């Protein structure tokens, strides 16, 4: 009996030992599975959300055009006999630029002037004779009409002779000469371009929602990559009274001071208009924003206890935000982030809520309010 009891106890020990061993193995496997499912930490860079003062600015890209500019061409054909100007000269209004041969036209003019003088003498004599009733009224009227006809022919011939001389219609800088002495030119052939350069216009477009923020007379600055770092000041002279129905943009024109003639028609320029009072915004780099149809989000970095090394364990938390205006690489945050929050600005594509993160700010994206391209 005693022997049987011992056997039963041994058997029971073996059974319970197997159960406990199985439970321990199961717990070990579950722990190992959970450890395998844990997300590894992701390396990101971060930026501190700060509050900045922004001057409300409207930016646009425009094209320069002369206040007055024209491609000069003759109205009539002729042979070029003189070109008394040099390419690139600054000329005054009325300066002779090209002279076409006009010998026959001048001879015709002299003939008509002589006929006009004779007609005037005849008219005056007939007027005296009419007073003495020596001629009829009909004869006097015929001679008066003849005088007017010849005088009109003289004026017509003078205009024709004047067209043989191409003169500057206004003061400005003459361009490269396109004709040479001895060349035959047709009506409409380009001789040179003439541009008035100071002041100079800049034409640009702004969205219709910005119309309430600008008005004629407001000052602005313009810049061009031809002269990096240099600003050209001017003021708005006109706002088009019609909005483009395709783009919903409106054309604006401003006059820029250009005393040294650095700016030339046809250049493009970046325009900045200051409008309104300074405003304070929480700002972040645009690279920190994740744009999506259901809403714009950022990832905040927060401490979640301590790691095995005793240092704070960091994790990412997704946060919806409301965006305001952008300025260069920066964007204003109207809602969702407060000053002092740590925000991921690169590496957020691999993050989810609660993902552990490691911060490495050795390389960070640009956060410049006025970025400029770098020539490398």
In a domain, 210, yes or no: yes
In a domain, 290, yes or no: yes
Q: Do 283 and 262 sit in the same domain of this protein?
A: no
In a domain, 203, yes or no: yes
| pLDDT for res 18 | 56
Q: Do 304 and 288 sit in the same domain of this protein?
A: yes
Show which of 274, 292, 312 is a domain's final residue: 274
Average pLDDT of adjacent 10-residue blocks, the chain of 376 residues = 58 56 56 52 88 82 91 90 88 91 88 88 84 81 87 90 90 90 90 91 91 87 89 92 91 92 91 80 89 89 72 85 84 89 87 86 69 55
The residue among 127, 123, 79 whose CA lies nearest residue 105 is 79
Q: Kindly provide the b/e burial profile for residues 303-339, where b requires at least 16 CB atoms within 10 angstroms of the residue's own CB.
A: eeeeeeeeeeebbbbbeebebbeebebbbbbeebbee
Q: Do 347 and 303 sit in the same domain of this protein?
A: yes
In a domain, 342, yes or no: yes
The parent domain of residue 253 ranges over 58-66+196-274
In a domain, 1, yes or no: no
Write the CATH number for 293: 2.40.420.20
In a domain, 262, yes or no: yes
Show which of 250, 274, 298 is a domain's final residue: 274
In a domain, 133, yes or no: yes
Q: Do 270 and 305 sit in the same domain of this protein?
A: no
Q: Do 315 and 248 sit in the same domain of this protein?
A: no
| pLDDT for res 33 | 42
| pLDDT for res 120 | 87
| pLDDT for res 22 | 54
Q: Do 62 and 208 sit in the same domain of this protein?
A: yes
| pLDDT for res 37 | 45
Q: Do 62 and 203 sit in the same domain of this protein?
A: yes
In a domain, 172, yes or no: no
Structural domain count of the chain: 3
Show which of 274, 289, 322 is a domain's final residue: 274
């Amino acid at each position: 009996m005693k022997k049987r009891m011992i056997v039963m106890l041994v058997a029971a020990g073996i059974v319970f030992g197997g159960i406990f061993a199985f439970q321990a193995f199961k717990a070990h496997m579950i722990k190992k599975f959970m450890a395998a499912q844990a997300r590894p930490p992701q390396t990101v860079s971060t930026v501190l959300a700060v509050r900045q003062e922004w001057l409300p600015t409207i930016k646009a890209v425009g094209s320069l055009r002369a206040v007055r500019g024209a491609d000069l061409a003759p109205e009539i054909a002729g042979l070029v006999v003189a070109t008394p100007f040099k390419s690139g000269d600054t000329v005054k209004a009325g300066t002779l630029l090209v002279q076409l041969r006009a010998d026959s036209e001048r001879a015709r003019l002299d003939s008509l002037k002589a006929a006009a003088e004779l007609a005037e003498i005849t008219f005056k004599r007939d007027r005296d004779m009419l007073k003495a009733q020596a001629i009829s009224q009909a004869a006097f009227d015929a001679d008066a009409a003849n005088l007017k006809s010849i005088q009109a022919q003289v004026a017509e011939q003078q205009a024709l002779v004047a067209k043989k001389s191409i003169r500057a219609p206004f003061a400005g800088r003459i361009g490269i000469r396109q004709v040479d002495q001895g060349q035959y030119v047709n009506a409409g052939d380009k001789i040179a371009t003439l541009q008035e350069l100071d002041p100079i216009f800049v034409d640009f477009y702004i969205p219709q929602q910005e119309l309430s923020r600008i008005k004629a007379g407001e000052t602005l600055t313009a810049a061009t990559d031809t002269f990096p770092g240099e600003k050209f000041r001017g003021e708005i002279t006109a706002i088009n009274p019609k909005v483009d129905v395709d783009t919903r943009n409106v054309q604006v024109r401003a006059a820029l001071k250009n005393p040294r003639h650095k700016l030339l028609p046809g250049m493009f320029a970046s325009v900045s208009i200051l409008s309104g009072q300074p405003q304070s915004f929480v700002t972040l780099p645009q690279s920190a924003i994740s744009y999506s149809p259901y809403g714009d989000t950022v990832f905040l970095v927060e401490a979640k206890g301590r790691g095995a090394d005793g240092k704070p364990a960091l994790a990412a938390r997704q946060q919806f935000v409301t965006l305001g205006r952008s300025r260069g690489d920066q964007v204003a945050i109207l809602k969702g982030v407060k000053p002092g929050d740590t925000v991921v600005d690169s590496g957020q594509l691999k993050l989810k809520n609660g993902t552990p993160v490691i911060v490495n700010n050795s390389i960070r994206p640009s956060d410049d309010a006025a970025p400029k391209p770098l020539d490398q």
